[in-house]
Structure 1
Amino acid sequence: MLSYQHAYHAGGPADVHKHIALARILRALTAKPRGLTYMETHSGRGLYNLNSVESLKTGEAAEGIAIADLGDEPFAETLSLVRDLNGPNAYPGSPWLAASMLREQDSMHLMELHPAEHAGLCEVLPGADIHRRDGYEGVTALSPPDPRAGLLLVDPSYEVKTEYAQAGAFVRNLMRTEWPEACALVWYPILRAGRHAELLAEMAPLSPVVHEVRFDLKGGTGMLGSGLAAVNLPRGVELG
């Protein structure tokens, strides 16, 4: 399915949860001098306007970044930078966040299958290695990357019910065969159906670190919470 567009959810509480953790991991990985590889399976368009029709329609940013206290989080620096460059309503997607924190010796490979999201991402990050292809297939094809140390973000829409198990199995298989050196961060929504249990069951052999937050989005009619499962976290990094 190619109907999902993240602009409706940009800056919501789930995004803030994910981006705080992502920035913490990137800060830790880039503290070491050696180069690293950053890859994403589902990148989106990379940059969002929280005053857009899509964002205002859901109002999720008002329940997320608008009320978040970032303190001295690494993500606070990225948010400040993106707004200095793009205005006070700008919000970075994970590709923009990563690009702002990576160094010259690092590499980045982004997968996005949706045609409009892919086109938007190419505009936001011209010159980046962006692929319009299935994210699972693309990351597998590029693995193991050079440098082999690095970070993989798996962040699908989960529009298709089977994708919970698919995402978990993908990470398990990739890290057992093609890219065992990677730190993998998987985001998932917590819904009433509880299908994220399938994802965690698939990842269980990797002993992931799991962090979940609960919230009352849209008066309880939306997501019940946001979850992160990570493997090979850098020493000292906490997801929440």
Structure 2
Amino acid sequence: MLSYQHLYHAGNLADVHKHAALSWVLSYMTRKDKPLTYVETHGGRGLYDLSAPEAVKTAEAAAGIEAVAAWFEGTAYEDVLAACRADHGDRAYPGSPWIASHLLRGDDVLHIAELHPQEHDALLDNVPAAYIHHQDGFDMAYSVCPPIPRRGLLVVDPSYEVKDEYLEVPKHLIKLAKSWPVGVMILWYPLLTDDRHRPMVRTLSRAFPDALRHEVGFPPAREGHRMVGSGLFVVNPPWGLDEMLGTLATRFKSL
């Protein structure tokens, strides 16, 4: 969706959920001295300034990472946040491409797609170590999967501004999993007040009965805001991820 710009929402509680999980997964996967491939279908600009007017206007970061940063003391996510701020200033916030580029190593490979022209150009500057693709994210994923190295991770994080995405995402994940059966696949989805995610999740659960599904609820960022939670659907989840997410869920229940 070319009208979507994540700067308005960067650092919100949904970002906290998915980025804490992503930081843990990448830290876990890089413990093994074998290269891996990171593929992301909807990269955004990769790095955000929480003092920008767009971020201040919605105040989602104020209710998000700025309110709950203390939850992550001693974790990989805290290390990522600290490194990003050390490099880019105290109000910098790392998107998933920046997190991946920071945590991955010199022999790992990153493929990131972004279709929005301005976001794509910013991503080129913010994540120079990656292969940045100016094309549809799923088209890019099909072109590189199964990747070399075969070991790796696919991240799918659409805007969901088009309702058809809820129907199309399962089709893409099922097809990609057939071509890359050993890949870890993380899908993020919003929990909205109309529960439109439920048919998508049912389809995915039938296709991937051993996948990990994790959802957290939280107060809306402002009156009338329809997002009241965040979901992750993980195919081939690394060992220990369910425990980490369970601890995080306890934190969210305190909100």
Normalised TM-score (structure 2): 0.91
CA contact (8 A) 2:10 2:93 kept: yes
Q: Deviations over 1:174-212 (max 9, x none)?
A: 10x211111000000000121111221231211221111
Misfit runs of 4+, over 3 Å: none
In the other structure, the counterpart of 1:173 is 175
In the other structure, the counterpart of 1:123 is 125
Q: Distance in 2 between matches of 1:198 and 1:139?
A: 24
CA contact (8 A) 1:60 1:217 kept: no
CA contact (8 A) 1:47 1:91 kept: yes
Q: Distance in 2 between matches of 1:23 and 1:165?
A: 28
Q: Distance in 1 between matches of 2:12 and 2:202?
A: 27
In the other structure, the counterpart of 2:108 is 106
SS of structure 2 residue aligned to 1:213: strand
Task: Specify the code of the residue in structure 2 equivalent to 1:141.
Answer: S
The 5 Å alignment of 1:73-152 reads 73-152=75-154
Q: Deviations over 1:47-105 (max 9, x none)?
A: 00000011001100011101112122211100000000111000000000000000112
SS of structure 1 residue aligned to 2:66: coil
> Gaps (5+ residues) in structure 1?
none
Q: Distance in 1 between matches of 2:198 and 2:223?
A: 20
> Gaps (5+ residues) in structure 2?
249-255
In the other structure, the counterpart of 1:71 is 73
CA contact (8 A) 2:101 2:129 kept: no
Aligned residues: 239
SS of structure 2 residue aligned to 1:235: coil
The 5 Å alignment of 1:1-240 reads 1-68=1-68, 69-175=71-177, 177-204=178-205, 205-207=207-209, 208-219=211-222, 221-222=224-225, 223-238=227-242, 239=245, 240=248
SS of structure 2 residue aligned to 1:67: helix
Q: Identity percentage over the alignment?
A: 46
Q: Distance in 2 between matches of 1:127 and 1:99?
A: 7
SS of structure 1 residue aligned to 2:237: coil
**How many Å apart are 1:236 and its aligned residue?**
1.6
CA contact (8 A) 1:63 1:217 kept: no
Q: Distance in 1 between matches of 2:97 and 2:2?
A: 19
Q: Deviations over 1:136-160 (max 9, x none)?
A: 1110111110001100000000000
